[in-house]
A and B are shown apart, each in its own frame.
Chain A
Amino acid sequence: MTGLATLLVLADGRLPAGGHAHSGGLEAAVSSGRLRDLAGLSGFLRGRLATTGRITAAFAAAACVAARTVRAADADADADADAGHDDALDRHRLDALDEGLDARTPSPALRRASRVQGRALLRAGRAIWSVDPAQRDRHHPVALGIVAAAAGLPPAEAAVAGAYGTVSGPASAAVRLLGLDPYGVHSLLAELAGECDRLAALAAARAGDPIDLLPADSAPLLEIGAEVHANWEVRLFAS
């Protein structure tokens, strides 16, 4: 079952999951003078999608697969106490995916930002869908997979929400910070839509891979910029 409208709810920038306070590294790039205009934003979004976006899609899809299995096992257990399903492997897989994101996020500031957004998304997921209350402290992509599973979405849709979110967040921040033409900014997002779909399909196809083989593409200036940003006295965005 795919629920296109449910996907829209999950991917909507207005979902109360804390996203509006995060710029995805854009504020740091703007303040350092690396990003001034629409052309700069285009390069920024492409680089972010190819790195953070690819990882987010892969881990959201993988977490969605694991979370769906856990949910199915829980449902079986509810229906029949003697079902004896062992879903420990999939619960362990969620923990391992979380560690996998630690290993892909050398910047402590980015790890904190990811967990803050993960917590906020799980809070929304608990309120809106039936997310397991034990799931509280997760990296954002893992949280996205868990919430997507609770919303009944398949892994590819968790992944596309993840990939799109890594560019729509900074795009919206660019409108607010730089006053860029919103039509121009959304044209960039529309241009990247095909790439989001492609990354999501790849992510879903590899959702069961060993964690060390999942994508790990890094963006050195996002990492460096996040550390610089976290040490500012005054900033508009949390990351």
Chain B
Amino acid sequence: MRPDPQVQNGTGSHDHGTGPHEHAVDEVPHTHPDPGVDPHAPLTSPVPGTTRPVRVGIGGPVGSGKTALVAALCRALGDELRLAVVTNDIYTTEDADFLLRNGVLPADRIRAVETGCCPHTAIRDDISANLDAVEDLEVSLGPLDLVLVESGGDNLTATFSRGLVDHQIFVVDVAGGDKVPRKGGPGVTSADLLVINKTDLAPLVGADLSVMARDSAARRGDLPTVFLSLVDDPVAGMVADWVRGLLPARTDRRGGPAKLVP
């Protein structure tokens, strides 16, 4: 019943290309940017002489386990990477407080952004407050390797602007129903990584994980999907590995191969 909890698809080099491809007759000819590759020119870091950190957005519906995943990634990566987190909550500090209580990151590495009742606006339509928060973190903490930007719980259409994050993870959970991947929506279909969370609950809620695996594969093409249970894997190993793979090879990273003075 439970599929092997590993990356289902997307083993690396796919040639999506940005060139011409097949279109439906009623479609305006267009090109697709390579998923997972930021089509924008790299933004400069506010700290002179440094490259800016990789930014990963984590979105998904209310209660799907975004904050728990962020906490798990902080546990998994906090010692090897220079890491910071920006939260976008409906109520400002709720998620930031959760991270603080769980002691996964020191308080100065977490920023909470107010979203004025509209978390999806702050991560997609008007990203200025989030950009300010990321830059403030870089200025106050010095160079960073990775910034996780957590969206407030929203609906299936909420995705991150490519002006804010380089890569995005969309988190759904089995308790939300095994039809969620089939329903699609921009989060499920276009996120660079889909996490189907709380697989330990599947038998209790009658969710068929093989259906979810099949539907996500159909919706997402070559984009990867991970099945996750934080009960079984409190550091979200598969997701953490996927995040590690996003980072450029660096020699000055804490715990990296060649330990140079940063």
Q: A176-B117, A237-B114 are in contact. Are A21 and B94 (CB under 8 A)?
A: no
Interface residues of A in 1-32 (CB under 8 A from B): 14-23
- A120–B126 alpha-carbon span in the complex (Å): 10
Among A23, A176, A236, A238, the residue within 8 A (CB) of B129 is A238
Instruction: Please give the distance in Å from A108's CB to the nearest CB on chain B.
Output: 17
Instruction: Please give the distance in Å from A46's CB to the nearest CB on chain B.
Output: 22
Most buried by A among B116, B118, B122: B116
Q: A116-B132, A123-B131, A238-B129 are in contact. Are A20 and B93 (CB under 8 A)?
A: no
- A21–B121 alpha-carbon span in the complex (Å): 9
Instruction: Please give the distance in Å from A112's CB to the nearest CB on chain B.
Output: 12
Interface residues of B in 201-253 (CB under 8 A from A): none
- A124–B116 alpha-carbon span in the complex (Å): 19
- A123–B129 alpha-carbon span in the complex (Å): 10
B127 and A16 form a contact (CB under 8 A): yes
A238 and B128 form a contact (CB under 8 A): no
Closest residue to A239 on the B side, CB-wise?
A: B114
Q: A233-B93, A234-B92, A236-B91 are in contact. Are A17 and B117 (CB under 8 A)?
A: no
Among A116, A123, A236, the residue within 8 A (CB) of B117 is A236
- Per-residue 0/1 for A204-239: is the Cβ within 8 Å of any B Cβ (1 yes, 0 no)? 000000000000000000000000000001111110
Judge if A62 is at the interface, Cβ distance under 8 Å. no
- Per-residue 0/1 for B109-129: is the Cβ within 8 Å of any A Cβ (1 yes, 0 no)? 000011111100110011111
Among B115, B126, B127, the residue within 8 A (CB) of A236 is B115
- A20–B113 alpha-carbon span in the complex (Å): 12
Judge if B90 is at the interface, Cβ distance under 8 Å. yes
Judge if A54 is at the interface, Cβ distance under 8 Å. no
- A65–B113 alpha-carbon span in the complex (Å): 34
The interface size bin for chain A is 20 to 34
Among A120, A177, A237, the residue within 8 A (CB) of B128 is A120
B129 and A234 form a contact (CB under 8 A): no
Collect the chain B residues with CB atoms within 8 Å of residue A237's CB.
114, 116-117
Q: A16-B125, A18-B126 are in contact. Are A120 and B132 (CB under 8 A)?
A: yes
Interface residues of B in 55-114 (CB under 8 A from A): 90-94, 113-114
- A16–B130 alpha-carbon span in the complex (Å): 11
Collect the chain B residues with CB atoms within 8 Å of residue A234's CB.
91-94
Judge if A173 is at the interface, Cβ distance under 8 Å. yes
Closest residue to A236 on the B side, CB-wise?
A: B117
Judge if A119 is at the interface, Cβ distance under 8 Å. yes
- A177–B128 alpha-carbon span in the complex (Å): 22
B128 and A236 form a contact (CB under 8 A): no
Collect the chain B residues with CB atoms within 8 Å of residue A14's CB.
125-126
- A120–B93 alpha-carbon span in the complex (Å): 21
A18 and B129 form a contact (CB under 8 A): yes
Among B91, B116, B128, the residue within 8 A (CB) of A176 is B116
A21 and B113 form a contact (CB under 8 A): yes
Closest residue to A21 on the B side, CB-wise?
A: B116
Instruction: Please give the distance in Å from B30's CB to the nearest CB on chain A.
Output: 23
Collect the chain A residues with CB atoms within 8 Å of residue B94's CB.
234
Instruction: Please give the distance in Å from A162's CB to the nearest CB on chain B.
Output: 18
A21 and B129 form a contact (CB under 8 A): yes
Among B91, B121, B125, B126, the residue within 8 A (CB) of A235 is B91
Instruction: Please give the distance in Å from B129's CB to the nearest CB on chain A.
Output: 5
Q: A234-B92, A234-B94 are in contact. Are A17 and B114 (CB under 8 A)?
A: no
Q: A21-B122, A22-B116, A173-B116 are in contact. Are A235 and B129 (CB under 8 A)?
A: no
9 more A-B residue pairs beyond the given contacts A14-B125, A15-B126, A120-B129, with a C-beta to C-beta distance below 8 A: A16-B126, A17-B128, A18-B128, A18-B129, A21-B114, A21-B129, A23-B116, A233-B93, A236-B115
The 6 A-B pairs at the shortest CB distance, nearest first, are namely A120-B128, A238-B114, A21-B116, A16-B126, A176-B117, A18-B128
Question: Can you spell out 6 A-B residue pairs with CB atoms less than 8 angstroms apart?
Answer: A14-B125, A20-B121, A23-B116, A116-B132, A235-B91, A236-B116
Write the residues of chain A forming the contact surface with B, with a CB cutoff of 8 angstroms.
14-23, 116, 119-120, 123-124, 173, 176-177, 233-238
